[in-house]
Chains A and B, each alone.
Chain A
Amino acid sequence: MIKIEHLTKVYKGNITALHDVSLEIGTGMFGLVGPNGAGKTTLMRIIAGLLHWTAGRVEVNGYDIHTLKGKQAAKALLGYLPQELGLYPHLTGAEFLDYVAILKGVTHRQQRQHQVQAVLEKVHLTEVAERRLKTYSGGMKRRIGIAQALIGNPQLIIVDEPTAGLDPEERVRLRNLFSELAENATVILSTHIIEDISQSCHDLAIMYNGAVLFRGAPTELIQKTRGQVWNIVTDGQRPNHGLNVVSMLQLAQGTQYRVIGDAAAFPNAIPTEPSLEDGYIHLMSQTRDRGVV
């Protein structure tokens, strides 16, 4: 369980990255979405004990991570995959994971070997485990990053853009892996791929300009957009009038636009079931229009 109360982070130069954020995150998959610069990475780095904050309080499984003792205790429960992952290119995949296991305090050699093998299988890297990391492709490096986050059976897993650069099949498999892990752990998933959130998270927060704009289940966000999403097929001009065009599809009879907004006035507009992505875009455009935050 993570408890964040009135968290504020101001960087040098008076840049506010987080402003009065309060969140409680329990066991299960928790999605964190928002545009670049929204404060997602800052929030995750604070929870991971990598960054100090300006005001507020953060507790991880009851440990106050403001204190050094609490921070160390919380880190022992943590599996973290940063957005920009650095690896030791001269170690093999298996050696790197063994090294991580030692640093995470898995002291028993056999237990360590067993864990390394298990995570390598989970991320489909067993066959290349003895190859040096400098020979790995971008996707393989991302998977070894996920593997190291899983070492030591963490109770809190924080993953920043874990599926970036992976092929669709691998993405789905890893998404399912996180869902499995979330049965007994808290998994915080930050991503720009809304589909990953909609397919795996029961709870999410949308951030914008350092604040939480929305907190709840994906279905709630979808519900808020119901009646606002339309399909319009036209061979003429692109529909405007304050509509947000989400997608365009070239068809034989013209172009099909998926739009968000009040399109009832368009003669050939057909109401459509909204997706989580529609909900996100609707919320963001409303926020920008209102000049909120």
Chain B
Amino acid sequence: MSTTLYQLRGMIWYELKMHWRRRALKVMMLALFVLIVITSLLQHTEDFEKNVYEPVKDETGLSDAELNTWFTIFSTWFVGAATLGFILPIGIADTIPLDRQSGVSELFHSFPVTRGTYVLGKVMGVWAAVLWGNFVLMVITGVLWWFFLGSYQPLPYISMWVLGLGALTVLNGGLGVLLGATQPNRLRAVLLTIGVMFILPNFLGLDANTNATNSLWDFMSPLRWPIFAYYTRVNQSGALADAIVTAVVGIGELIMIGIVMWCWLRWKEQH
């Protein structure tokens, strides 16, 4: 294994540890868990059974297990997407500025680690920490649903966590760290991320209440609307393809931002 890969592996491991020992990620994951439970308790009432469950069952002919699957996904997706898609990037935007403010980056840059490796290690460390949290939540809530609702199809539920919420974690989490890395301090990093996550999408004409128009911006917007739509609308034709395109475009977007960052850091390293 090359030294760079070894350094990256070490960074991922220790970043994961540190994120879980800090308060922010624990609070966010706990909040997500509580929100999922509260949402499901509030929704799964007798009224809901009578007014939503039964009519949908009659209309679609779905089995109990299929209906339960839809309910688990529906109940988890909204809070999961809101937390991991919007709160997460703001929460982790200060990852690199924090190092700068505490003086750790001075030490870090005296090691034979290139700035590109440093930023990549930080991004991957955040991914590892949050994806690990997602996995734990997926298992806990998955078991809870089983007791609470009865049997459901685990595969679509797992796929929602891995592909849907996983994609939001990777795309928006990565975006948060990369955007924050350009800023000298924590406050500016958070403000910039808020600007890009909330103000820019609205300014450019797409917010969570509008429908996607299949323009490039719909796929690039940090709202990741097509992914969101795929998990909130049943049997919408073309929704899966749009969600996949969004994920691919999002990864391309991250790579592009990463390359710009890398060039900028390399220039900074030489000047």
Query: Which residues of chain A have a CB within 8 Å of any CB of chain B?
Result: 48-50, 52, 68, 71-73, 75-76, 78, 80, 82, 84-88, 90-91, 95, 99-100, 102-105, 107, 132, 148
With A84-B103, A99-B14, A103-B7 known as contacts, the answer to whether A90 contacts B21 (CB < 8 A) is yes
Say yes or no: B14 contacts A105, CB within 8 Å: no
Q: For residue A91, which residues in chain B have a CB less than 8 angstroms away from its CB?
A: 14, 17-18, 21
Q: Which of B101-123 contact A (CB under 8 A)?
A: 102-114
A103 to B6, CA, bound (A): 8
Query: Which residues of chain B have a CB within 8 Å of any CB of chain A?
Result: 1, 3, 6-7, 9-11, 14, 17-18, 21-22, 99, 102-114, 266, 269-271
**Which 10 pairs show the lowest CB-CB distances between chains A and B?**
A86-B103, A102-B10, A86-B104, A90-B21, A80-B110, A86-B102, A75-B112, A103-B111, A76-B112, A99-B14
A50 to B107, CA, bound (A): 9
Q: Which residue of B lies closest to A84 (CB)?
A: B103
Q: Which residue of A lies closest to B111 (CB)?
A: A103
Q: Which residue of B lies closest to A75 (CB)?
A: B112
A82 to B172, CA, bound (A): 34
Say yes or no: A80 contacts B3, CB within 8 Å: no
Q: For residue B10, which residues in chain A have a CB less than 8 angstroms away from its CB?
A: 99, 102-103
Say yes or no: B104 contacts A72, CB within 8 Å: no
Say yes or no: B270 contacts A104, CB within 8 Å: no
Q: For residue B3, which residues in chain A have a CB less than 8 angstroms away from its CB?
A: 105, 107
A85 to B106, CA, bound (A): 8
Say yes or no: A104 contacts B111, CB within 8 Å: yes
Say yes or no: A103 contacts B108, CB within 8 Å: yes
Please report whether the interface of chain B is mostly helix, strand, loop or mixed according to DSSP.
helix
Measured CB to CB, the closest approach of chain B to A175, in angstroms, equals 22
With A100-B111, A104-B112 known as contacts, the answer to whether A84 contacts B266 (CB < 8 A) is no
Measured CB to CB, the closest approach of chain A to B1, in angstroms, equals 7
Q: For residue B22, which residues in chain A have a CB less than 8 angstroms away from its CB?
A: 90
A71 to B112, CA, bound (A): 8
Candidates A50, A99, A105; contact of B112 at CB < 8 Å? A105
Measured CB to CB, the closest approach of chain B to A203, in angstroms, equals 23
A86 to B17, CA, bound (A): 18
Q: For residue B113, which residues in chain A have a CB less than 8 angstroms away from its CB?
A: 103
Q: Which residue of B lies closest to A80 (CB)?
A: B110
With A91-B17, A95-B17, A107-B1 known as contacts, the answer to whether A86 contacts B106 (CB < 8 A) is yes
Say yes or no: A84 contacts B106, CB within 8 Å: yes
Among A52, A72, A103, chain B packs the most CB atoms within 10 A around the CB of A103
A90 to B125, CA, bound (A): 15
Say yes or no: A102 contacts B102, CB within 8 Å: no
A52 to B114, CA, bound (A): 15
Q: For residue B271, which residues in chain A have a CB less than 8 angstroms away from its CB?
A: 52
Q: For residue A49, which residues in chain B have a CB less than 8 angstroms away from its CB?
A: 109-110
Q: For residue A88, which residues in chain B have a CB less than 8 angstroms away from its CB?
A: 14, 18, 104
Measured CB to CB, the closest approach of chain A to B89, in angstroms, equals 21
